[in-house]
Chains A and B, each alone.
Chain A
Amino acid sequence: MSSDTTDIPADIDPANQPHHTTRGLRGFLDATELDTRLLGMVGALALIWVGFHLYGALVNGFGAFLTPRNLWNLSVQTSSIGIMACGMVLVIITRHIDLSVGSILGFCAISMGVIQVDVLPAWLGLGHPMIWVIAALCGIALGAVIGSFHGFLIAYGKIPAFIVTLGGLLVWRGAAFLVARGETISPVDSTFALLGGGPYGSIGATGSWIVGLIACAAIVGLLLWGRRQRRKFHFPLRPVWAEWFLGLLGCGLVIGAVLLVNAYPWPRGIVRRYAEAEGITVPDGGLFISHGFAIPVLILLAVAIAMTILMTMTRFGRYVYAIGGNPEAAELAGINSRLMTVKIFSIMGGLAGLSAVVASARLNSATNSLGTLDELYVIASAVIGGTSLAGGVGTIYGAILGALVMQSLQTGMVLIGFDAAIQQVVVGSVLVLAVFLDILYRGKSK
């Protein structure tokens, strides 16, 4: 098939034509093919970060926001919402909504708590190395089954998603209470707890460099592969300087992140206990042990990469967008929209289950109220990240950036000492404002 695509004379081959002709900022954006929307979100995020830092520095005398410690914590706090936001993007793109994710999270968390504390130790013995795996898989599977059930009611029962998941919101929260009669299950399995982050639940300096270098290699590899594909099919190429710029920017961000997480040391008390356990003598200046990337952050990254591949490179993802863009056209093109709906809600439920793993591991306990109001933050993240409630539009990276914006606002307000009431006012207002700005942007770009 590819042989007949290489017979274009070199002088008229689009791959050899100038890619862009405009100059200035427009020309720069055309050449790099950077999404202006993405840049806007990154800009907003930078503004929030710098704003909180300066406010802290000027008013409280200490800028606590742009510190390795805070940013590391921010990354961990974003994980749970971010994981679910990846699924919510699919749900909203296909013009549905899922109000039940917070309750599914609570139900899965408490179920996993019972499984790993009451059920599995009786079978396998306390502290068995398989406990965390079985518990986590059960939680994810449980979430996926609940999600499929919701999807089935929506697709085949023709009940609006709003109603099914509103019912789910109440049902699963109540069920979470019933599972353990309202008790808090704590502590969870010690290996399981590592999935929530913390000093032991991080991969350390060396591990972080390895992850960082793999990421850099992937960025360079993708750029090279993209260029080769374009040449093969005679599509216009990006100018070489733009490729270099993208490569350096991407690798720079990755290396910056690695340096950041490695700059956050373990707390002194934990270092002392660790040193005692390992028989190391702590020098006078203290021992500097880096956190490195937290495991929940790596889970979020893995989910984001997998979901991005699913959405941009597979038929499944293509059909999700098609159903959102024009459900009738999708149906006429032979797409089984109903089955797709079941699958989409199943993915959403599975991700809520995974989120339950992260959230309960982080707290080292499972309570029936875990994840309360999460559905609103998840929906807000997806929407702030550019997912259109009218359907058909949305990206995974946008949703994660949206989750980061939401979490940054909350963390920032805590750091500068705003009370809970003001936090709610601000978060709510930002949601509305973000959607309004998005509508303005889309109106202009049409």
Chain B
Amino acid sequence: MTDQTPLVEMKDICISFGGIHAVDHVSINLYPGEVVGLLGHNGAGKSTLIKILSGAYQMDSGEIRINGEKATIESPRDARRYNIETIYQTLALADNLDAAANLFLGRELTTPLGFVDDAQQEAETRKIMARLNPNFKKHKEPVSALSGGQRQSVAIARAVYFKARILIMDEPTAALGVHETQMVADLIQELKKQGLGIFLISHDTREMMDLCDRVSVMKNGKVVGTERVEDVTEDDILSMIILGKNPLREGAEEPA
């Protein structure tokens, strides 16, 4: 896989908020068809790093390459141009709008006269939801009336519909039940087969071991280590998260 051009390369990324280095010289990459997990405590810098890629934050220094070419991402609009889609922890859905309006938010289908084509949008939404979540029926109601899993499927449908090549999922299963979590896991496998690159953020170490090809552990804005999941145990990862040291590279029995 290493001879391939990475889909995403983030090199030496730094960002600070009021003197705190939220992300401190971080480098990370992602290949097509690969799921890379980002792990770490709250405040370790995972979400911040990912928000730089999705255009929500602007990095202070560093470089982002998409398909080997230098990319400028200064807004969510820029990110979308590079086919980067993000499913946020907070879901980023407008609760008062229905599924179709959310799916197409910012990229509405329009009639020749320039009006929003609600009927076409709803028809497209029904089609994609039939594929992703066949039980989804509440097309006319605002998404506030939906369950966590249904809301999540709207967010995922948005990424799938617009043919994302790079997908960022920030805690996609945090608000979901067992069955819905499984649905998201299946979907990740399917998207992976289609050659998407996926960044996954989660606190659930076991889930990450199942879903990811590689995991990167962050602590205090720095990457502690990046390892293939088959090379590490759950305990290794936990000790990386907690101690901020990589047992495979530095030796687990380092003197205190």
Contacts and interface: CB of A to CB of B under 8 A. Distances in A.
B76 A318 contact: no
A5 B127 CA distance: 10
Nearest to A234: B123
Contact of B92 (A1, A318, A329, A393): A329
Given A235-B122, A315-B116, A333 B106 contact: yes
Nearest to B106: A333
Mostly, the A contact residues are helix
Given A332-B92, A392-B95, A233 B120 contact: yes
Interface string A1-44: 10001000000000000000000000000000000000000000
B75 interface: yes
Given A318-B108, A333-B106, A334-B80, A1 B120 contact: yes
Contacts of A233: 119-120, 122-123
Given A235-B119, A330-B105, A332-B86, A322 B75 contact: no
Interface in B107-163: 107-108, 110, 114-116, 119-120, 122-123, 145
A335 interface: yes
B94 interface: yes
Given A315-B110, A321-B94, A392-B94, A332 B115 contact: no
Interface residues of A, number: 30
Nearest to B105: A333
B80 A326 contact: no
B238 to A, nearest CB: 32
A429 interface: no
B6 to A, nearest CB: 25
Interface in A266-322: 309, 313-315, 317-318, 321-322
B106 A335 contact: yes
A232 interface: yes
B166 interface: no
A247 interface: no
A229 interface: yes
A309 to B, nearest CB: 8
B88 interface: yes
B123 A5 contact: yes
A232 B118 CA distance: 13
Interface string A411-446: 000000000000000000000000000000000001
Given A235-B119, A315-B110, A328 B96 contact: no
A316 to B, nearest CB: 9
B105 A329 contact: yes
A1 B54 CA distance: 30
B22 interface: no
A183 interface: no
Contacts of B75: 334
Mostly, the B contact residues are loop
B77 interface: yes
* Residue among A1, A329, A446 with max Cβ neighbours from chain B (10 Å): A329
Nearest to A5: B123
A322 B56 contact: no
B29 to A, nearest CB: 24
Contacts of B95: 325-326, 392
Given A326-B94, A334-B76, A334-B80, A315 B119 contact: no
Nearest to A226: B119
B85 to A, nearest CB: 11
Interface in B68-100: 75-77, 80, 86, 88, 90-97
B123 A332 contact: no
Contacts of B94: 321-322, 325-326, 329-330, 392
B184 interface: no
Given A318-B105, A322-B105, A332-B76, A392 B96 contact: yes
A317 B101 CA distance: 11
Contacts of B105: 318, 322, 329-330, 333, 335
Contacts of A333: 76, 92, 105-107
Contacts of A315: 108, 110, 116
Contacts of B120: 1, 233
Nearest to A391: B96
A314 B80 contact: no
A275 to B, nearest CB: 48
A392 B106 CA distance: 16
Given A314-B115, A325-B95, A326-B94, A331 B76 contact: yes
Nearest to A322: B94
Contacts of B145: 446
A57 B110 CA distance: 54
Interface in A314-360: 314-315, 317-318, 321-322, 324-326, 328-335
Contacts of A326: 92-96
B115 A313 contact: yes
- 7 closest Cβ contacts across the A-B interface? A325-B94, A333-B106, A325-B96, A392-B96, A334-B77, A329-B92, A334-B106
Given A233-B119, A234-B123, A332-B76, 12 more contacts: A229-B119, A230-B119, A233-B123, A318-B101, A321-B101, A325-B97, A326-B93, A326-B94, A329-B94, A332-B56, A333-B105, A333-B106
